[in-house]
Amino acid sequence: MDDFMARFGQIVNGQPVLSSSRQSIITSLLSAGTFVGALAQAFTSDRFGRRGSILIWSGIFTIGTAIQTSTVHSIVQITIGRFIAGLGVGALSAIVPLYNGETAPKALRGMLLVLYQVQIITGIFLSYIIDLGTHSINGPASWRIPVGLQLLWGTILLSGIFFLPESPRHLLGTGRESEARKVVAELNGVPEDDPVVVDIMEELEVGIKAENEGGKATWMECFSARNVLWKRTMNGMMLQFIQQLNGQNFYYYYGDTFFKSAGTTLSPYAIQAILGGVSVVGTVPALYLIEAWGRRNSLLTGAIMEATCALIAGLVGHYTLAPVGTPIDQLTPRNRSGGDTLIAFAVLHVFSFSIFWGPTHWLWNFLLSFFAPRIASDIGPLILLIFFGMLVFGYFYVYLFIPETRGLSLEEVDEMYRSGVKPWNSATWRPSEKHLHEKEHVSMELREVKDKDDGSA
């Protein structure tokens, strides 16, 4: 986008150039905001509820987008706008899956997680299509249209949240039992006295009662040995770490500049659009695989496929591509075939991620977006070998430490961790009779308390 380069780039040899340092700053400030927002939402989601928190952070995102769109020449203004928008993105990326998990039946929880990823990938794909259509426009419309259109989605979320119910788990946890029961009935399409509603309410009450008996939790308790909480925290952190550093975000962020070295006649924006389309197509099978095949098998298979793609693309690119800036008419057949191979395995890499790892992150996202352009400018396609190493590490981490949670409720996952079952045997694990008996016992206690309350009333 020539106008963007002229406004925010630096003049080098009489031409506007967006240096790798400016690229990393502009790109990474959004990820820095997402890191802060993802932490800050923990307060708002408890204090104002899931709906209220989504409302607050979508408003912050919209403000950040407006600041970016109104920028004229100030790189400081556009980076501040991206940071503020990042606050909203990071917070919403944590709240929305939480909201989905607390409102969805456990049999559909995995599928809804994939649908959440489908929407993200579809949005990325649409943004690439918009970039492809606007990048050649003369004037600020070439970049203001893609940036400004984000205001539309922020407004839709701001207004749409008023038509969605509050999380029944949050309502019950704050003492609003009748509201929670009504929401559960509406979500399941049954009357409030239906056995389905009774069972769900009892399960929620059991979980909340257990949480309250444990007292008020602190951040440090996430790493305590009680109920092996440290292991759950570490697994969540490591999966996000591996997911962010396995290579796909490098293509999303810097594919347009990285693919220029491949010597293809296709526009880098066209290649980005192809990657976006492949991501959408790849996410669709995940709707079936995540439930039919399980989480562990999906992660292990994805790690192998993506590592293979990164290894081949990195080595082929390093040994066959021409130096950056070589005119296309001076490329040899070896250069061209190497570039085609790199692009093909990049597409397969993104496709594999969309199927297996996408539906499963923000500090690592910031580090990647900040350092990747600097590293790529020094070592070129060999940067893909870093992602290869991360994926090999990811495969072994998943195999050794990540249990299978398919078809289990949150309370059953809790018992599985406490039981000490080995992750590679977790696919066949089932709740113990003791757990089922304890659940029924607590449910009976809750019924007795309710009967007494009703009698005294």
pLDDT, block means (10 residues), the chain with 457 residues? 80 77 82 88 88 94 95 89 94 87 76 77 87 87 92 92 90 90 89 88 79 64 69 78 79 74 74 83 76 81 91 89 77 86 88 77 49 65 82 88 78 77 85 61 56 55
What integer pLDDT is reported at residue 210 of this predicted model? Answer: 66
The two domains 1-12+21-176+187-192 and 221-402 share their CATH topology (first three levels equal): yes
Give the Cα separation of 299 and 302 in Å (integer): 5
pLDDT at 311: 93
Domain ranges of the chain: 1-12+21-176+187-192, 221-402
Answer yes or no: are the C-beta atoms of 33 and 83 closer than 8 Å: yes
AA letter at 149: L
CB neighbour list of residue 64: distance below 8 Å, 6 or more residues apart:
33, 81, 82, 83, 84, 85, 86, 87, 88
Q: Select 221-402's CATH number: 1.25.40.90, 1.10.3470.10, 1.20.1250.20, 1.10.1060.10.
A: 1.20.1250.20
Query: Are the CB atoms for 383 and 20 separated by under 8 Å?
Result: no
pLDDT of residue 251: 82
> What's the whole-model pTM score?
0.68
The closest alpha carbon to 67, from 56, 78, 53, belongs to: 78
pLDDT of the residue at 455: 56
Residue 334: what pLDDT?
Answer: 87
At 255-314, the pLDDT tens digits run: 777 777 777 777 777 887 888 888 888 877 877 777 778 778 888 988 999 999 999 988
Is 1-12+21-176+187-192 assigned to CATH 2.40.160.10? no
